[in-house]
Structure 1
Amino acid sequence: MQKVLIIGGGGGGLILANHLDTKKFDITVVDKSEKHYYQPWFLYVAFKGSKRKIDRPIASLLKPGIKFVKDEITEINLDERKVYGNRKGVYTYDYIAIATGTSPDPDATPGLREIYNEYGDYHSNIENSMKLWKHVSAFKGGTIAIGQASPTVKCPPSLLEGAFLLEEHLREKGLKDKSRIIFFTPFPRAYSAEPMDYVVEPMVKERGIEVMPFFDTDTIDVQNREIKSIEGDTIKYDLPIIVPPHKGTKIKIIPEKVKDEDRFIKSDKFTMKIEGYENAFALGDCNNLPTSKTGVTAHLEAMAIANIIQGIPSQFTGRINCPFDTAYGKATFVIADYKNPVVPYPPTRVKHFMKMTMARIYWMTLKGTADPIFEYFFSYTNPVKLNKKYPLPK
């Protein structure tokens, strides 16, 4: 029986494990944590103070016959097919899938570490989201600077989702007239993909959110409460909400050349095979594929890898299908693939209901029991069909 070793108990790793045949493969999932978190809900913890339970034991999310090991991996040797952990020693494999996600790097921006430690953020972990809610809920007025310290972050829609939910919170608390929201971004527009920016720009203007484009964060002067850009612009703030740069895995991988300068693993964009290796894959946020780092992306990559390992020809199409909460009970989805641009998909209440429904069936998704629902949804939201139905105005 061939051994499949999966490093990482996030969404991609669990979906891959649960879609392999346990009668044909000896499957082991290794993670340094025993818990799996529904990360998209960090947003609602940070801006709505949600108390919803969003974690479950990783072992409970795996099919019978799949082993889970709590261990911190320190080294992966792709040439020798050996993996080294702090607790369990050496692991061997026939196939390996690295699904370790991203690592926030607040030290990459001078001054950001202090902000990160005091205010938290809504991308890194549940503790940081709770920390941010503490400051958001105590805010009584002033200037809020919200944005990203680097172009590379996971879940691109969540950046503006945060700004929209923040504005909704201020309005509900009667603080809108006492507050100023500045959304800063290194991109030339509020949303990096132009078709989606066409959809959200009117909402940004209507809600009085100021956008500072081409703002590449250089340093943060914590003492004077200023964020400075490489371009020479400065934002003064009372409350900073800054998503730190995201980088790839910190695990040592041999050979080192399979990582790029930001530690993301170089992988084929269709098969997720690590460059130079037929039996090694990198999926989800830890690879360097030219697409968004999102949960849906990891889901679809995992499905393709499961097929490939089991001898079924399969490719990842670059499909993204990211829920995007625009606040006030409406949402949309950011939909595209390698061949088709982002759809200018308008927000509706039905789409918000769909986003909330996806959150409720998330645990089923990891086990594969919701596959028919997602297959229908992905077919219904095919970007070829939707781009014809919602063409970008010329």
Structure 2
Amino acid sequence: MKIPDRVVILGDKESAVMAANKLANRTNKKEIEIIVIGKQVNVEFSDSNIFVPSSLVDHHLLKRSMNSMLHTNIEYIQDDIVSLNLKDKSLNTRGGKVVRYDYLLITNPVEGDHTTITGFSEDARTLDTIQDSLRLKEDLQNIKSGEIVIYQDGTHSRSPLIGANLCILLASHFRRNGTDKNMKITYLNSSKTIIESKSFHAKVDQVLQENGIKTVYGFKLDQLNVKNKELQTSDGTAVKYDVPIIFAPSRMKEYLTGAGFPKTDSSLIELNFKNLNVKNFPEVYVSSMEPLYISNYWNINHVELDYITAKIAHHISGYPDPEDYKGATYIDYLITEEERATNIVIDNNGEYSEGKQSKTDYLLKLYSYHSFFGSYSQGFL
């Protein structure tokens, strides 16, 4: 009898759960052993961001235990990872376990790094947790006039559209409550474009301009000058704020920095972009590195994980090879006008096009992976 292939998935967020469940659904359970390793007992759906109604904070869709979301044949190890040995196909946990693997999937390998921004902890608003979102929601409900400044670092690990969509949602909100003439919204991005596709960037920028939002690209935030209420770059360029919302830069998680990954001048991990596995280590896959990895094929992590789990399942159980798929790739939703969102796609030639529109609430937007069903959904409340 063939020894089952062991697939180890690193992560304790909804993306790790979704990947594990998809892999279980796509393989014969006699041919695979799936282990998920993370340090959290519960998953808080922090990607359920922008604005979450208080009534949903304790809702089971926003916070559930890891074990309750994983299929019964999937093992969850609650522990920190302290080291990874790519050559030996093994990793070590803080609790002293040595775990070997045939395939390794690293989800969310980067994390927000607020330490690079002086004054961040004193004044910045974020959407890192549900509590952060609720705090920001309260701030914005109470403000009647002023300047909202939204800064998105180009290495931020979530969707590159998150800052732009928030700008458009806020513009709609201020129009609806009649305070738009007294409110100013500025969108700052450290990169020269929101996304690599120039046509896609142009579309997003057009929608921002149509909503009266000032945009500044290539603005690399160095500090929050709390005394002067300014976001400042290292060369002294400054933008005034009343409420600063920051999507901070990302850094590699510590246990990955010494693992011996091949690197490039622009990346801490050199990937085979077509398959999202690591160069020279084809059994190791990485999802959601940073927006730098957005190509004509991939964007937000559910698309990546859908492909990666299909690829691993193909190797183990003969699941259809995702490389055979030649269609256009689903990208994300862009809020294009009040109460409407447009499904954005980019084809294999990198050309932008608009897909279907769907109705949204003007303000309350909820991303929910619904990982325990093994499927991704993106909705609006």
> 1:110-125 to 2 correspondence within 5 Å?
110-116=118-124, 119=125, 121-122=126-127, 124-125=128-129
Match of 1:5, SS state, is strand
Q: What is residue 84 of structure 1 aligned with on the other side? A: 92
1:51 correspondence with 2:62: no
Match of 1:17, SS state, is helix
Asked if 2 retains the 8 angstrom alpha-carbon contact of 1:157 and 1:324, the reply is yes
Match of 1:42, SS state, is coil
**1:9 maps to amino acid:** D
State the Cα distance separating 1:271 from its structure 2 match.
Answer: 2.2
2:346 to 336, 342, 351: 336
Q: What is residue 294 of structure 1 aligned with on the other side? A: 300
1:28 correspondence with 2:20: no
Contiguous gaps of at least 5 residues in structure 2:
none
Q: What is residue 107 of structure 1 aligned with on the other side? A: 115
CA RMSD between the two structures: 3.4
Q: Say which is worse superposed, 254-263 or 162-171, in terms of deviation.
A: 254-263
Q: What is residue 345 of structure 1 aligned with on the other side? A: 354
State the Cα distance separating 1:44 from its structure 2 match.
Answer: 2.4
> 1:84-233 to 2 correspondence within 5 Å?
84-87=92-95, 89-116=97-124, 119=125, 121-122=126-127, 124-188=128-192, 193-229=197-233, 232-233=236-237
Q: TM-score, normalised by structure 1?
A: 0.78
Q: Distance in 2 between matches of 1:321 and 1:357?
A: 17
Asked if 1 retains the 8 angstrom alpha-carbon contact of 2:159 and 2:291, the reply is no
Asked if 2 retains the 8 angstrom alpha-carbon contact of 1:150 and 1:217, the reply is no
Percent of residue pairs bearing the same amino acid type:
19
Q: Distance in 1 between matches of 2:212 and 2:105?
A: 45
Larger RCO, structures 1/2 (Cα 8 Å, 6+ apart): 2
Q: Say which is worse superposed, 66-75 or 50-59, in terms of deviation.
A: 50-59
Match of 2:67, SS state, is helix
> 1:233-252 to 2 correspondence within 5 Å?
233-252=237-256
CA deviation profile, 1:244-287 (whole Å, cap 9, x unmatched): 01223222455434356887533211222222223222223379
1:6 to 1, 4, 9: 9
Asked if 2 retains the 8 angstrom alpha-carbon contact of 1:323 and 1:332, the reply is yes
Asked if 2 retains the 8 angstrom alpha-carbon contact of 1:161 and 1:325, the reply is yes
Q: TM-score, normalised by structure 2?
A: 0.80
Contiguous gaps of at least 5 residues in structure 1:
375-394
Asked if 2 retains the 8 angstrom alpha-carbon contact of 1:264 and 1:287, the reply is no
Asked if 1 retains the 8 angstrom alpha-carbon contact of 2:112 and 2:156, the reply is no
> 1:354-393 to 2 correspondence within 5 Å?
362-363=369-370, 367-368=373-374
Aligned residue pairs: how many?
Answer: 360
